[in-house]
Amino acid sequence: MSALDGVLVIDKPPGMTSHDVVDVVRKRFGTKKVGHGGTLDPDATGVLLLGLGRATRFLAYAQASPKRYTAVARLGVTTSTQDASGHVVEERGVAIGAGDIQEAMVAFRGDIEQIPPMVSAVKVGGERLYKKARRGEEVERQARPVSIFELELVDFSAERAEATFDLRCSGGTYVRTLVHDLGAVLGCGAHVSSLRRTEAGGFPVSDAVPLEAVGTEHLRPPVDVVASMPRLEVDDATARTVSHGGPLESDAGVPMGVDHVALVHNGALLAVYRRSGGRLVADRVVGS
């Protein structure tokens, strides 16, 4: 492993894209091999997991892992981007209470479908939607399944027409679309006025380092890129097999219902393996 193979848990500031954060870290650490584990909108803040060196190979698992957010919704105002960065499309009066919101929220818990917003990184026809949106285009998008594990109303102000939510959801969930759709059900419309990611990749925001302060002393070991995944410690002989991506003939030791497991030796990440017919086969290997 190189000294720059590892993970950074950043508290992203507002006004930057996730790629902007990657560029800052590339320059500060003097390496090109940097990637992030899940896009945050420019106006959003909070946990952004970055992989450096060989840890970048495993960022897809962090992207797919559950995430937690605090979202502030402005009720009565619908925008073109479903957040505060867009122009106002419609304004309506807000004649609802906290009870109405809690009742409407029930339908948004569990497995639901979302239509990605036009200002998203989803590709349609080989081009990202936000590029089409910049040209004023709007195209048909297919609904995508997502899971809302937790959704709670933590504050409501009728005077400000504002509601604050705490939610935990699957990777790929559009929080602004959730708020937009909830506003539609309430009949008043809504958009996200503030969004903070409070957990991602198994790390709470309390573990995150402000971007302006991050340095090599904050670099975590590569195994932390799969912090939210079950781990299986292997012996010396198995470690040699795993380091070359060889299959393991038994999935013993892997919890029931788990498809992927991080294989480690003396605490160091070797690979991620997946279940296959009672065996474990290589999904991604650290390698040399």
CATH of domain 231-285: 2.30.130.10
- pLDDT digit string, tens, across residues 119-163: 666 676 666 656 655 666 566 668 899 999 999 999 999 999 999
Which pLDDT does position 142 carry in this prediction?
A: 81
Average pLDDT over residues 152-178: 96
Reply yes or no on whether 235 is catalytic: no
Query: 6-65+201-226 and 67-200 share one CATH topology?
Result: yes
- pLDDT digit string, tens, across residues 35-52: 999 889 899 999 999 999
Average pLDDT over residues 107-116: 94
Model confidence at 268, pLDDT cuts 50, 70, 90, reads: very high
Which pLDDT does position 252 carry in this prediction?
A: 84
The Cβ-side half-sphere exposure at 284, using a 13 Å CA radius, reads 16
- What's the pTM value of the predicted model, to 2 decimals? 0.90
- pLDDT digit string, tens, across residues 71-92: 999 999 999 999 999 999 999 9
- Average per-residue pLDDT for the chain: 92
Comparing CA positions, the residue from 228, 216, 250, 234 lying closest to residue 285 is 234
Specify whether domain 6-65+201-226 bears CATH 3.30.2350.10. yes
- pLDDT digit string, tens, across residues 16-26: 999 999 999 99
| Catalytic residue of the set 11, 41, 181, 224 | 41
Average pLDDT over residues 226-246: 94
The share of the chain scoring above pLDDT 90, in percent, equals: 81
Which pLDDT does position 8 carry in this prediction?
A: 97
Model confidence at 254, pLDDT cuts 50, 70, 90, reads: confident
Domain ranges of the chain: 6-65+201-226, 67-200, 231-285
Does residue 218 have a pLDDT over 80? yes
Does residue 210 have a pLDDT over 70? yes
CATH number for 67-200: choose from 3.30.2350.10, 3.40.50.300, 3.40.50.1860, 3.30.930.10.
Answer: 3.30.2350.10
Q: Which of 115-129, 192-206, 263-277 has the lowest mean pLDDT?
A: 115-129
Q: Which two tokens stand for residue 211?
A: 């971007």
SS3 readout for the chain: CCCCCEEEEEEECCCCCHHHHHHHHHHHHCCCCEEECCCCCCCCEEEEEEEEHHHHHHHHHHHHCCEEEEEEEEECEEECCCECCCCEEEECCCCCCHHHHHHHHHHHCEEEEECCCCCCCCEECCEEHHHHHHCCCCCCCCCEEEEEEEEEEEEEECCCCEEEEEEEECCCCCHHHHHHHHHHHHCCCEEEEEEEEEEECCEEHHHCEEHHHCCHHHCECHHHHHCCCCEEECCHHHHHHHHCCCCECCCCCCCCCCCEEEEEECCEEEEEEEEECCEEEEEEECCC
